[in-house]
Structure formats: C-alpha cells, structure tokens
Amino acid sequence: MAPSSLSLSPLATAIRAGDRATLARAITLIESKRTDHRHSAHLLVQELLPATGNAVRLGITGAPGAGKSTTIDALGTYLTGLGHKVAVLAVDPSSSRTGGSILGDKTRMARLAVDDNAFIRPSPSSGTLGGVAAKTRETMLLCEAAGYDVLIVETVGVGQSETTVADMTDFFLVLMVAGAGDELQGLKKGIVELADMIAVNKADGDNVARAKLAAADYRGALHILAPRSPSWSSPVTTYSALTGDGIPQLWAQVLAHKEKMTASGELAQRRREQQVKWMWTMLDERLTARLRSDPAVRSKVKAAEAQVASGKLAPTLAVEEIAALLGV
C-alpha cells in the first residue's frame, strides 16, 4: 500500500536523519510502476527538494576492462576516509535480468559494500533509458537529502546512456586503459566531447610507461576538439585503482572543476538545464506509457501500425491520428 501524503512527512524526516533502511524503502517506492506509488514518490521528492543540491555529482563511464568497479571502490573508500558520505548509483537500461551490473560488481567493490558511509544501489531492473534515468535522478535527490555529499553515477549500459549520465552529473569522468591495442580506437568522439576528464587506469608495475603513452595520445585527441566549457580544459591523468596511486589527484581535479564552474556560474546553469531536460524526459515517458497502457488508444495504435506496414497509410498521417487520440 502506498503511503498517503499525510504519512510522507515521517518518511521524509527519517531520510533527512540519514536512516539507510528508510532511504532504501523510499527508493523502492520510486522504482515502483504502480500509479499510486509513483504519485507518493513524486510528493516525497517534492517535500525533500529543499534538502537537495549540495552534493558533488560525479558521472563515470569507461571502456570495457577499464576497471570502473575497482576505481569506484578505490575512490569511494578514499572519500569516506576523508569523512564524506558516498552513494553509488547505476544507469543500466540493458539489464532486465540482473538489475544492473552493480549487483554483480559489489564483489568488486568489496570495501565500499561494507562501508557504513557508503550506499550502493543498482539501476531499476527493467525499463527504457528514459525511465531508468528519471528514477535515477529521483534517487540522487533522495540520497542528497539523506546526507550523501558525493554521488557517483556509473553508466554500465552503452551508447546513449553515457550522454544521459553526463546530463545528470556535474563532472563526467571517462576511464580508459592502456595496452589494449590502438588507444584512440576505443575513444568515441561523442564521449570525448562530454568528458570533463580522461583517466587512464592500471598505471602500475610494468604498465606505467604504456599508461603514460596512452595519456599523451588522448591529450592529442582532446586538443582538436572544442572544450565542453570555456572555463575548463579537460585534463588527462594516469592512476592505479589497484594500488590507489593517483586517486587523490583524480579527486583534486573534480574539486578544481567544481570551484571553477561555480565561480563562472556554469555549474548552476548546467544544473538548471538538467532539471528542464529531466522534465521533458519524464513527460516523454508519460506520453509513451499512455500509448502502451490505455486499451482504447493501444488498439488504435496497433491498427495504425498495420496500415503503415502494409503501405495503406503514410507514417506522417498515422502520427497525426495517434497524436489526436492524446489530444495533442
């Protein structure tokens, strides 16, 4: 049964007090597909909104084998050691069976998984990218209200999920690894344009020289692209998630970026734009859900699909007819 609006205040109070069990229950409420649960979740987020916005929002993506999980474990443990509270969230629209790779990756986040100052949550177990992203954004706000001052959002899907994570975070970190052949081949232009920093992992042992060479290649690639921000030139660094070397320097860059972007007003502007994008994402999701859930609308959409497929109805006219059903 969904909590009524009257019972949401105690829930919000417990979240603000940092109660982990209540936070987990509230996130489950957000992820529910039931209409009454969704309404209660939106009211809860609205009530907690004044307590949000103070965390560092860090997005992380990486090439296969770049060591995202070990990096998050090393960075998160370093941060909790400094007194921070760290929440790790995933955006994974591709996983309908496991509920997001973080469930499996908890074994590779061995230290964070048992850290009282860390909270690890996989992405919703199924849904479109838009739906997963909307729920992740709401989860971020709940975690901020619960006192987590560093949010790490990992994209474990592919393609568009990287852009989505960049659109919900302050700092987008792209992890790469040396010694995997042509270094630049694994670097997609779209990701580089979003990157606030590129970090080459596994700079340890015999691989240090290769990591430094790869970093030099990436710097050359970045020079031919327009920077994402006029206030920040994306650095390329090397580090080792295994030994922890370079992790403090990596975090220092995140803080330097926050300072510059805050001073220029770009951080506030970026967050405002993200809020508007979130609104449109949720609206798109709602309209699509209506098309799929309303029996009368769904049958007419199916009929229109059949006519388009048989060549009897132009797609443009089909769209007009479907839009008319929704009153738009």
| pLDDT score recorded for residue 183 | 46
Q: Are residues 232 and 301 in the same domain?
A: no
| pLDDT score recorded for residue 169 | 95
Q: Are residues 236 and 306 in the same domain?
A: no
Give bridge partners of residue 120 from the DSSP assignment: 88
Residue 105 φ then ψ, to 5°: -75, -10
CB 140 within 8 A of CB 57: yes
Q: Are residues 174 and 217 in the same domain?
A: yes
Q: Are residues 36 and 150 in the same domain?
A: no
Q: What mean pLDDT value characterizes the chain?
A: 85
| pLDDT score recorded for residue 6 | 47
**pLDDT interval class at 181 (50, 70, 90):** very low
Give the E-state strand segments of the chain in sequence order.
Answer: 56-62, 86-91, 118-121, 150-155, 171-177, 197-201, 236-238
Q: Are residues 202 and 314 in the same domain?
A: no
Q: Are residues 135 and 188 in the same domain?
A: yes
| Distance from the Cα of residue 125 to its chain's centroid | 15
Which domain does 10 fall in, by range?
1-50
Residue range 242-248: mean pLDDT, rounded:
96
Q: How far apart are CA 227 and CA 223, in angstroms?
A: 8
Is pLDDT above 70 for 277? Answer: yes
Give bridge partners of residue 89 from the DSSP assignment: 121, 153
What is the tally of structural domains in the chain?
3
Query: Nearest-CA neighbor of 119 among 93, 157, 145?
Result: 145
Buried b (16+ CB within 10 A) or exposed e, 296-309: eeeebbeebeebbe
Block residue for tokens 């909104």: 49
Q: Exposed, middle or buried: residue 265 (CB in 10 Å: 0-12, 13-18, 19+)?
A: exposed
| pLDDT score recorded for residue 189 | 63
| Angle, in degrees to the nearest 10, between helices 295-309 and 315-325 | 170
Residue range 106-115: mean pLDDT, rounded:
83
In-domain check, residue 270:
no
Q: How far apart are CA 317 and CA 315, in angstroms?
A: 5
Q: Are residues 88 and 189 in the same domain?
A: yes
| pLDDT score recorded for residue 133 | 78
Q: How far apart are CA 189 and CA 222, in angstroms?
A: 9
Q: Are residues 65 and 181 in the same domain?
A: yes
Looking at residue 235, which CATH number applies to its domain?
3.40.50.300
Q: Are residues 295 and 306 in the same domain?
A: yes
Q: How far apart are CA 152 and CA 55, in angstroms?
A: 10
pLDDT tens, position by position, 202-218? 999 999 999 999 898 88
Q: How far apart are CA 224 and CA 33, in angstroms?
A: 45
pLDDT tens, position by position, 143-179? 999 999 999 999 876 667 888 888 999 999 999 888 6
Is pLDDT above 80 for 192? Answer: no
Q: Are residues 185 and 300 in the same domain?
A: no
Q: Quick one: CA dihedral 218, 220, 226, 230, positive or negative?
A: positive
Tokens of 6: 């009257």
Q: Are residues 126 and 34 in the same domain?
A: no
CB 27 within 8 A of CB 142: yes
Q: Are residues 149 and 249 in the same domain?
A: yes
**pLDDT interval class at 102 (50, 70, 90):** low
Helix (H) or strand (E) holding 321: helix 315-325
**pLDDT interval class at 99 (50, 70, 90):** very low
